[in-house]
Structure 1
Amino acid sequence: MSRALFTEHELAVLRLLAGGRTQVEIARTLRIRPETVGLLLNRARILLRARTLPHAVARGYETGLLTLPPNEQGPPQLP
């Protein structure tokens, strides 16, 4: 999967979602509307050919679009 297909905002919202943030939390962090977060995540989901947002996160890791921090052993766990 080529990073060139994704905008910086799409990558940012996908990374935050992978880190366990909600759409409202992502919106506050990036100072954008929650609706905009939803649109960005939906486009990222489509580009990743994922059925759901959790599937999009998994596909992000599978394709190398998302990477784990060096000290992590696996995908981030939700609280």
Structure 2
Amino acid sequence: MMDWSTCAAVERDPERVSGAWIFRGTRVPVAALFENLENGIAVGEFVTLFPGVTLGQVRTVLEHAARSAVAA
């Protein structure tokens, strides 16, 4: 399991979205990004579909995931 605690673009609150990791300041789960990418949705379209999530946040999440994968 990936450690999201060091990623500045996300947060977790047990009172919101069942404690899932979400994009900071939103209720959009980080998992939604990866599910949409798997389904062929482009990053730009994801940001359009999920208001409140910024392109910068998406880039930070993807960079964090890439660094974590390399470290594993």
Scaled by the length of structure 1, the TM-score of the pair is 0.46
**Structure with the largest fraction of helix:** 1
**Structure with the largest fraction of strand:** 2
